[in-house]
Chains A and B, each alone.
Chain A
Amino acid sequence: MHTFFQQTLNGLSLGSIYALLALGYTMVYGIIKLINFAHGDVYMLGAFWGYYVINTYHVNFLVALVSAMVVTALAGMLIEYLAYRPLRNSPRITALITAIGVSYFLENGMSFLFGANTRNFPQAITQHNYDVFGITVSNIQILILVTSLVLMVLLQLIIQKTKMGTAMRAVAVDPEAAALVGINPDHVISFTFGLGSALAGAGGVLIGLYYNSIDPLMGMTPGIKAFVAAVVGGIGSIPGAAIGGFLIGLLETATQAVGLSAYKDAAVYVVLIVILVLLPTGLLGKNVKEKV
């Protein structure tokens, strides 16, 4: 029982990072139906920005987190403006290939400029382990969980309560009708990319602190897993992405805990295929009836 709670806690910490990434995927997919393959690399950019400001300017963790969110939000909007906006009306497969191109570009550009080696992320916060009912809890795990929960609540407030959030939901339902009532879809899409990328940047800084090492290719696998999380939760659904992220994190930790760590990636994909076959739109996705 003791191990069970310990592993659940580890799974939730990892899952909250996946959830942060999955939110970006699900928002972008919900609004322009694009699998933004470069999203995992925006998360890498966030981690590198955190590494840079903490090492160079010795700022505290909070400043690093917020500045990384601002920088990645700008990066996300720039990527959208340069690479995806010209393709707004072309086939979806073209936009997907472009996203893969952007992902290659960010990964290799960073390797080329700063070297492909793995770096130690600076310890902006010294790790303390607490013993709660026999379970080891580190302050970093608490920080990750609290930060991601706060960000998710903030996101939900932005989407449900602000004017921009209403516009985002309108564009996701019907871009043309939204344009007719005076919403500029380009602004809304740009804002969505900024919001999603900011969450990914925060995830990057948090994972740097948790795993203590970063490299230019770190975004690839978490990016794909976060996308799986978004699909499992029902792509386009914000609470679905959060639930999916936590589920994938827990599943991965559980496979490791029962001694099948070699198969932890396969387990994630098996769950993906099973869920897609049984519930083609994911756990919380809307089931749209096909019309002739």
Chain B
Amino acid sequence: MTKAKVKVAAAWFALMLAGFILINVLVVVGVVDTFIENMLVTIGINIILATGLNIIIGFSGQFSLGHAGFMAIGAYATAIITSSLPTVLGFYVSMLVGIVISVIVAIIIGIPTLRLRGDYLAIATMGAAEIIRVVINNLKITNGAAGMYNIPPLAGWPTVYVMVCLTTIMLCNFAHSRSGRAVQAIREDEIAAEAVGIAPTKWKLAAFVLGASTAAIAGSLHAVYIQTITPTDFGIMNSVSLLIIVVLGGVGSMTGTFIAAIVLGVLDTVLQSFGTLRMVIYALALILIMVFKPSGLLGRYEWSFARFFTKKEASHE
């Protein structure tokens, strides 16, 4: 590792630590009450989901509309396992089980459907997620339409924060690795990528499975934080709201996804007092942003400490 790389890694680590300490101080001082903590955790879970979806949509260019289905798998795995093993260990075991099931389901769905293109893929993945939801709605082990409740509270905001950092590091490293470049080459031109020896189906599937596994993590966190889950929490509209975060932030920009998740999370909380009007304002804001800034808030811009440091050095010379 070169000196510059160490510096960049240290800067990122310092940023994460600073964020953690900041929230901690705010909790101790009392600025962050249960209401705001709830908002922060929801934002965190949405970040995990939306960054995973951004790998699928933004980096591999595959239009998936079924992300909530994988979230449901994680959430139900945790709810079922922690009901008989209500310990922190049980929670992590259940998270792992959720990831494994989610990966298997993603492979089963992905192999046939990833051959489809654009809107067809979107509609097929949406259908697949709905099938997952209908099955959960009718199984005995998942308690049907009534859902699971009294899930032990095994994770607070620190767990969610750490998980946000871990999944983001993993996804960003994937995006910047050789595999990530292969996936982005497929997005730009599938035939050209195939011509230089990249197997499109294999790499599309890899991105899809990666996104699905992070969605399962988010589902597990959702289950233990909210403590009640029903099949209706994972419907089409939930997949759509994740898609909105990705597109609003800028397809292919992780920084944008972070900002969009935070902006929408805060907007949602602020507008809470408006009642029904809240969704009308939300919808109007969405249409206006899309009409006037079609590439999302940040386009494909990405914040990078590496570039920041080199720029500073260049200005010194």
Interface residues of A (CB under 8 A from B): 29, 33, 35, 83, 86-87, 90-98, 100-102, 104-105, 107-109, 111-112, 116, 224, 227-228, 231, 262-263, 265-266, 268-270, 272-273, 276-277, 280, 290, 292
Contact = CB atoms under 8 A, between A and B. Distances in A.
B284 interface: yes
B291 A93 contact: no
B247 A265 contact: no
Interface in B98-154: 112-113, 115-116, 118-120, 122-124, 126-128, 130-131, 134-135, 137-138
Given A93-B251, A263-B134, A270-B131, A280 B115 contact: yes
A105 B290 contact: no
A228 B291 CA distance: 27
Interface of B: 57, 63, 112-113, 115-116, 118-120, 122-124, 126-128, 130-131, 134-135, 137-138, 191, 236, 240, 243-244, 247-248, 251, 276-277, 279-280, 282-284, 286-287, 290-291, 294-295
Given A105-B280, A265-B130, A97 B286 contact: yes
B262 to A, nearest CB: 19
A118 to B, nearest CB: 16
Contacts of A227: 123
11 contacts: A83-B291, A92-B119, A93-B247, A94-B247, A94-B290, A94-B294, A95-B290, A100-B240, A101-B290, A269-B131, A277-B116
Nearest to B292: A86
Nearest to A277: B112
- Closest A-B pairs by Cβ, 5 of them: A269-B127, A104-B283, A108-B279, A105-B283, A101-B286
For the residues of B in contact with A, the DSSP-based class is helix
A224 B235 CA distance: 12
Given A105-B283, A108-B280, A292-B191, A263 B138 contact: yes
Contacts of B57: 93
A83 B287 contact: yes
B116 A105 contact: no
A20 B13 CA distance: 57
B291 A262 contact: no
Contacts of A107: 279
Contacts of B294: 87, 90-91, 94
